[in-house]
Chain A
């Protein structure tokens, strides 16, 4: 571990680690949450968005006159207004496309906003959409990732001149040497699908503009990071302090999808400014499934240079991401976010990477739970199995062979990731034990004799948490970076205060989306201050005018359990320190002699010399003259904690792209119906190291959710388009999210290897299995179909797709 890194001592705790029920449950379960659509402001009008039916077309003209005359319509915003009133969004690529919040003269995907109608209600607004006529001149489309790079492909953005938004080469270690030393080179090509998160609550915005103060007030359900507050201010051409964002108490799910909300915030803000109205827009499900945000689909070519004994000497890969009709921040993060953990849990020191981010006529992207780690691990973990298969080696054995060893932590990867703590062998072994691996292989042998297709799959992957915003600058070369302003950080702000009667209130800005943050904050503060969790209240919404927050604030990249908890602990300790100073002054003792016991501050060894903590609080507020000289009155402490491991990339493009690194092992046993191609999951073990467990009940929920999400990407979910560019999964009838009926029993296990760099030893867990499950199910199905000569290189594996793979293999034989 680099010397400058702060490490924390972890002590035994009373409340942290207990499965406390969520404080949030009562209001949520009784329908008393406050979500976007619950907010109703005086004189509020309603917006509906006209969206392009074409994937690629010039807009030759728009006629809104009939719609404007429709009773109840208050105004219409078109691309012409947007071009006059705003700027394109900045994005970190060498030649940015001109991405406005609305199409100006060209549409580039089905569902792209073309105009906004503001009316007395949403019904009237939608009626008026039908009265707008747009003269489109359709253009040829490009839908395939690799075709997008062809010189013959239709070009989406003339100012770029090709469909390539970002392109870089990276070299870590010495791949040439790895090739020379290798006994064989195994090659694979993998295609990961475009899919999303489809939170229950869709996007929502309410915007108003005050022409006198020239200030926007915008309610929205943005999940963070608040770097995009700056981007919207730039797009609107206003100073940041003239735009106030307020996020409601409750958000109905985010999963990264809601980081794609910010262009809609700008759009509705402009509609409010143009019409002079307070404008509300709630995205409907069709809009969501056409035009919100998905993760990127990716084509990966990968080669592994390996020794006969299974040692992987090096990897060479070329990954092509697709951000759709435009590229918007935080992309091209898709290509760079997993840099530090690119070699997963293995000791692979040599790596050549080529990275491309391209555009096609598809919906735009945003981080999707796991943010491209599912793409990365689908290729890496499938590759491990391909290598094992080439060598005739057991798929568990090859993983053990290449794992980083427990005594190597903290471990710096070839790409600059600093893995804080782990014991990968222990996690994987638990997963193997849970499925009774040896017995399963025996059953598989018997099944194969009967012609049944049974398969066993693993994936053993590193779970990175707490994004270091520095990674985005990898889109620039070291020389280009040296000329610009470096970026780094992962900060989160917390304020803690004790009121005059001795109760505690915490102000955080994590915008929880159902994770139970308020409960965990109460548990942590209860431990730190020696109070009961019920004595702690939490206010946890962002208001950019009223709250202390950081540019990286928000709930994304599983930040809460690492960085927010550390901020809470640090602020609470500052508060304790101040209280001890006050008590020492009042008790005429030395701070070092004091201890906190059951709500009292006592002098060690002198039980009669003590004070109730609430009396200390009372003094701080009510008798300010009694405080030590020079001390501020009151009891408030703030901490804006950033992980010291969040450093900018070095000149060799190495970067610690995240800050804490958990680990997980999936083990899944499947049986494929040889006639129908249906997949039945027989056994599923999911074992996690998320460091210290803060609240086991909440962790269980996160793991279940992430497993279900991973299952969705493996077998069901895909943002699918036909060859003409029409999205064919624009309702929940066709976009298939697994339900309780599709999710089998999952045997969840935990290994706790505390992180030395977080206050409580916790690492992230919110995204977890959605990174590992697609690879694992892919491996299990590949193993099941191996006797037929079928290989698996793409997802989702619908029965139809598996049936076609089987038929194709049969024809070959």
Chain B
């Protein structure tokens, strides 16, 4: 379990990282926290010829509010996001999702940007990002562009980043007060990759009516997905147990899971139902201030 030989560069600015990417393109991999890349290299599943270490790009390590958005630099450590008072107040679902990643030592090293570009379909951050409708800012030789989750994530471990582009920032809309939310997942052990994860967000209107519902599923397809038909069941309604039950069933229909050693496709599908129902109940409770 030793990696194959690679050349190693450090970049201290985004521009430097991009020029290195331009020079080596597909041969190069960016390393930030290395919590997924290093094991993959040790297993020789990944054999990059060039590593570009961006841990020195201090300009990418920040959490701040800009108008109605929480803006997080790609190199910000997961643990810093999890413990940030700003994130905990304005976007608590993200802090909750991150708290379920591996263990504290892993989160202390892993970065929010690293998790996003790795695009593991069993990772927590992408599920939350889908649910939050966040935007990813990427920079390349020809300038910058901003991508929606649906544009950013293409498939299993695949994003729409060009070989010489780098993710620099995540922009997350602040959740209005009294928004109901939950992030629930089923894992074999604490900290394991999940079998199913569900992010639920209920935007509340007057009279206890849910204006808009977002239900995002992880673990049931090559990327996280929004359970749109289930969301529609809840939109404009006062959320009852019966609606929650129906939404869970609808969400399970949207799931397209595969079987593996830990969970059969059937089980994953049914757990999608169960965790959507449990997640929605928790979110509704929060919306009520419970």
Q: Which residues of A contact B (CB under 8 A)?
A: 122-123, 126-127, 130, 284-286, 675-676, 678, 716, 720, 728-729, 731, 733-734, 736, 738-739, 741-742, 798-800, 803-804, 807
Contacts and interface: CB of A to CB of B under 8 A. Distances in A.
Given A286-B43, A798-B262, A804-B264, A127 B188 contact: no
A123 B5 CA distance: 8
Given A286-B43, A733-B193, A804-B267, 10 more contacts: A123-B5, A127-B4, A130-B44, A678-B186, A736-B188, A741-B190, A800-B195, A800-B263, A800-B264, A804-B266
Contacts of B274: 675-676
A729 B261 contact: yes
A123 B2 contact: yes
Q: Which range holds the interface residue count of chain B?
A: 20 to 34
Contacts of B193: 733
B271 A676 contact: yes
A503 B2 CA distance: 48
A736 B189 contact: yes
Contacts of A284: 1
A17 B195 CA distance: 47
B189 A803 contact: no
B262 A734 contact: yes
A286 B2 CA distance: 11
B267 A803 contact: yes
Contacts of B262: 734, 798, 800
Interface string B1-38: 11111000000000000000000000000000000000
B189 A742 contact: yes
Contacts of B1: 126, 284-286
A320 B286 CA distance: 55
Interface string B168-202: 00000000000000000010111111010000000
Interface in B200-231: none
A738 B192 CA distance: 11
A126 B2 contact: yes
Nearest to A677: B267
Contacts of A126: 1-2, 4, 44
B2 A122 contact: yes
18 contacts: A122-B2, A126-B2, A127-B5, A286-B1, A678-B186, A720-B261, A728-B261, A731-B43, A733-B192, A733-B193, A739-B189, A739-B190, A741-B191, A799-B186, A799-B188, A799-B267, A803-B270, A807-B266
Contacts of B270: 803
Nearest to B264: A800
A685 B164 CA distance: 59
| Max chain A C-beta neighbours (<10 A), residue from B192, B264, B267 | B267
A739 B274 CA distance: 26
Interface in B80-134: none
A695 B244 CA distance: 56
A284 B3 CA distance: 13
Contacts of B263: 800
A736 B271 CA distance: 20
Nearest to A125: B2
Contacts of A736: 188-189, 192
A300 to B, nearest CB: 24
B267 A800 contact: yes
Contacts of B188: 716, 736, 798-799
Contacts of B267: 799-800, 803-804
A569 to B, nearest CB: 43
Contacts of A285: 1
Contacts of B195: 799-800
A14 B234 CA distance: 72
| Max chain A C-beta neighbours (<10 A), residue from B4, B188, B193, B195 | B188
A742 B266 CA distance: 25
B282 to A, nearest CB: 15
A121 to B, nearest CB: 8
Contacts of A742: 189-190
A130 B2 CA distance: 12
A741 B261 contact: no
A779 B141 CA distance: 64
The 5 closest A-B pairs by CB, nearest first: A741-B190, A284-B1, A123-B2, A800-B263, A675-B274
Contacts of A676: 186, 271, 274
A130 B3 CA distance: 12
A160 B268 CA distance: 44
Interface string B252-282: 0000000001111011001100100000000
| Max chain B C-beta neighbours (<10 A), residue from A720, A729, A734 | A734
B37 to A, nearest CB: 15
Given A286-B1, A804-B264, A741 B189 contact: yes
Contacts of B271: 676
Contacts of B186: 676, 678, 799
A155 to B, nearest CB: 28
A114 to B, nearest CB: 17
| Max chain A C-beta neighbours (<10 A), residue from B3, B43, B262, B266 | B262
A609 B5 CA distance: 77
Contacts of A807: 266
Contacts of A127: 4-5
A549 B195 CA distance: 51
A800 B4 CA distance: 37
A675 B267 CA distance: 10
A545 to B, nearest CB: 34
A734 B261 contact: yes
A563 B188 CA distance: 40
A662 to B, nearest CB: 30
Contacts of A286: 1, 43
A285 B43 CA distance: 10
B122 to A, nearest CB: 10
A130 B270 CA distance: 43
Nearest to A739: B189
A724 B128 CA distance: 37
Contacts of A678: 186
A391 B274 CA distance: 37
B189 A716 contact: yes
Given A675-B274, A720-B261, A803-B270, A738 B189 contact: yes
A286 B17 CA distance: 33
Contacts of B44: 126, 130
Interface string B238-254: 00000000000000000
Nearest to B275: A676
A504 to B, nearest CB: 43
A716 B271 CA distance: 19
Nearest to B47: A130
A731 B1 CA distance: 11
A728 B262 CA distance: 10
| Max chain B C-beta neighbours (<10 A), residue from A123, A285, A676, A733 | A676
A486 to B, nearest CB: 45
Contacts of B2: 122-123, 126
Nearest to B261: A728
A258 B35 CA distance: 30
A456 to B, nearest CB: 24
A803 B262 CA distance: 12
A736 B193 CA distance: 11
A517 to B, nearest CB: 31
A420 B204 CA distance: 71
A733 B40 CA distance: 12
Contacts of A803: 267, 270
A716 B190 CA distance: 12
A126 B2 CA distance: 7
Contacts of A728: 261
Nearest to A734: B261
Nearest to A285: B1
A167 to B, nearest CB: 32
Contacts of B5: 123, 127
A799 B267 CA distance: 9
A742 B264 CA distance: 23
Contacts of A800: 195, 262-264, 267
A734 B192 CA distance: 9
